[in-house]
Amino acid sequence: MGFTLRVYGRHAIGLKYITSVRDAQYPDRADSHQSTGTISIVYTLLGKARFGAVEWRGADYL
């Protein structure tokens, strides 16, 4: 799960949460259950509008 919030211009901060769960069963020992979670705070530089697309047809076409 993640959330990103634009702060100013192309600058943004984000919060992400990732969880993992593992269940294991063994014939000769007790079953095992493991879970872990990670929270991250990230800085993001957002891209420009149109993702860098350029007009390739030339001025005569328009």
CA distances from 50 to 13, 26, 47 (A): 21, 53, 9
Amino acid 50: pLDDT = 62
Q: What is the pLDDT of residue 38?
A: 95
Predicted TM-score of the model (pTM)? 0.55
| pLDDT, tens only, 2-58 | 989 999 988 999 999 999 999 988 889 888 899 999 999 999 888 776 666 677 776
**Higher pLDDT among residues 45 and 61, named by residue:** 45
Residues found in the chain:
62
Which amino acid is located at 30 in the chain? A
pLDDT at 43: 94
